Amino acid sequence: MTALDDSIVYLNGEFVPLNEAKISVMDRGFLFGDGVYEVIPVYGGRPLRLDEHMTRLENSLRGIRMEPPLSTGEWAAVFSRLIQGSHDQSIYLQVTRGVAPKRDHAIPPEIEPTVFAMCTPIAPLPIEGIKAITVDDIRWQWCHIKAITLLANVLLRQAAVDRGCTESILIRDASAVEGAASNLFVLVDGVLITPPKSNELLPGITRDLVLEIALQNGIAVQERKITLSELKAGPEVWLTSSTREIMPVIELDGAQVGEGVPGPLWQRMQALYQDYKEILRRPS
Ligand SMILES: Cc1ncc(COP(=O)(O)O)c(C=O)c1O
């Protein structure tokens, strides 16, 4: 039992302690990984980029042929009940297709979705930089959907952990696509490059925010494919995600990236990103 077990979570219209939240083994999320999710960071009690996260959720649901189970206002009411205090935390929400009468791949015609949400503290982030490896992208072709079916991502991340690293950078057709649970930025000839949105990667909310901050601050950016050789030669390589923000990669496949420390552009972006978060923390 941990302190987390007592925290209040949302499950199908009710707020219950985490250790009392139960779903059926016939839930298609459990049997097939048939569902989608979101992770939304919260600073000073305020969700970061809530509208963008909600839009992505709707897109993910549409992608798996589901309707939004709650309205935007209903979600907001759930979140405000789950968010406790002003420390950094994140909302995890998951919608599965629901409990089916029998285990059959085909989608049952009438089925109530299972809707779950919880809020957990965000762990302090390492800022000394991370080590990463490159691996073949073994995932499916609909990576733009934030599906709970994460077996490939789990195995890809574990490949990094097995080699004493934090993240895997996924390679598809000789291009670097994204991390196992993060988006990718590489500095190439003074321009910050990130792969364009497509079915090959998750449209990261942090990715979009980093692009926006770069544009507002005169940092040259471009959305285009990144070749494996550009990745390996990049003086700066970053991986972004909602809860891990902007991670500078200082070692890639055992070789030093740039000077082997977080680079000057990362230092600048990190300061700008922290300023952006600070605005949320300020009482309005
Ligand atoms: C595969 C993948 N790409 C990118 C991201 C980053 O997305 P976001 O910035 O919205 O957290 C994630 C986040 O979990 C992810 O799982």
pLDDT of res. 135: 98
**For the domain that residue 147 is a member of, what is the CATH number?**
3.20.10.10
Instruction: Report pLDDT for 1.
Output: 46
- Say if residue 62 is in the same domain as residue 171: no
Same domain, 199 and 96: no
Same domain (yes/no): 100, 141 = no
* pLDDT tens, position by position, 7-48: 999 999 999 999 999 999 999 999 999 999 999 999 999 999
The percentage of residues in the chain with a pLDDT greater than 70, rounded to a whole number, is 98
> Mean per-residue pLDDT for 58-80?
97
* Closest protein CA for atom 15 of ligand 1: 181
**Residue 4: per-residue pLDDT:** 62
Q: Could you say which of 121, 144, 177 is where a domain stops?
A: 121
Question: Residue range 124-140: average pLDDT?
Answer: 94
Contact call for residues 98 and 78 (beta carbons, < 8 A): no
User: For residue 206, how far is the Cα from the chain centroid?
Assistant: 8
Pocket test of ligand 1: the residue of 50, 52, 169, 202 to mutate, having most ligand atoms within 8 Å of its CB, is: 202
Can you give the pLDDT at residue 2? Answer: 55
Q: What is the rounded CA–CA span in Å between residue 153 and residue 157?
A: 6
Q: Is the pLDDT of residue 94 over 60?
A: yes
Domain end among 121, 139, 162: 121
Pocket test residue of 91, 154, 242, 245 for ligand 1, highest count of atoms within 8 A of CB:
242
- Whether residue 229 is found in the same domain as residue 97: no
Residue whose CA is at the smallest distance from ligand 1 atom 13: 181
Q: Residue range 151-180: average pLDDT?
A: 98
Q: What is the pLDDT of residues 77-93, one digit of tens each?
A: 999 999 999 999 999 99
The reply to whether 97 and 214 lie within a common domain is no
- Residue 167: alpha-carbon gap to chain centroid: 13
Could you give phi then psi for residue 33, rounded to 5 degrees? 65, 35
Supply the CATH number for residue 112's domain: 3.30.470.10
- The mean pLDDT of the chain is 96
Indicate whether 141 and 101 sit together in one domain. no
d(CA 241, ligand 1 centre) in Å: 5
Q: Is 146 a catalytic residue?
A: yes
In the chain, how many domains are there? Answer: 2
Please identify, by atom number, the ligand 1 atom nearest to the C-alpha of residue 242: 11
- Give the residue whose CA is nearest to atom 4 of ligand 1: 182
Distance between Cα 8 and ligand 1 center (Å): 25
Same domain for 112 and 159: no
Check if the beta carbon of residue 185 is closer than 8 Å to that of residue 193: yes
In terms of residue numbers, what domain contains 99?
3-121
Pick from 25-39, 120-134, 146-160: least confident: 120-134
What residues are in contact with ligand 1 under a 6 Å CB criterion? Answer: 39, 178, 181-183, 202, 204-207, 240-242
From the list 194, 157, 185, 158, the residue with the least C-alpha distance to 247 is 185
Choose the residue to mutate in 52, 139, 149, 183 for probing ligand 1, maximizing ligand atoms within 8 Å of C-beta: 183
Asked whether the predicted pLDDT for residue 97 surpasses 70, the reply is: yes
Which of 121, 156, 185 delimits the end of a domain? 121
pLDDT digits (tens, 9 = 90+) for 166-212: 999 999 999 999 999 999 999 999 999 999 999 999 999 999 999 99
pLDDT over 90 (residue 124): no
**DSSP letters for 186-217:** EEETTEEEEPPPSTTS---HHHHHHHHHHHHT
Q: Using 50, 70 and 90 to split pLDDT, how confident is the model at 3?
A: low
Q: Report the candidate in 269, 283, 265, 243 with the shortest Cα–Cα distance to residue 86.
A: 283
Phi, psi values for residue 266, rounded to 5°: -60, -45
Check pLDDT > 80 for residue 138.
yes
- Tell me: pLDDT of 283 over 90: no
Choosing from 146, 197, 225, 277, which is the catalytic residue?
A: 146
- Tell me, yes or no, whether 152 and 29 share the same domain: no
Regarding whether 245 and 134 lie in a shared domain, the answer is yes
List, for residues 263-274, the tens digit of each pLDDT value. Answer: 999 999 999 999
Q: How far is the CA of 202 from the centre of ligand 1 (A)?
A: 6
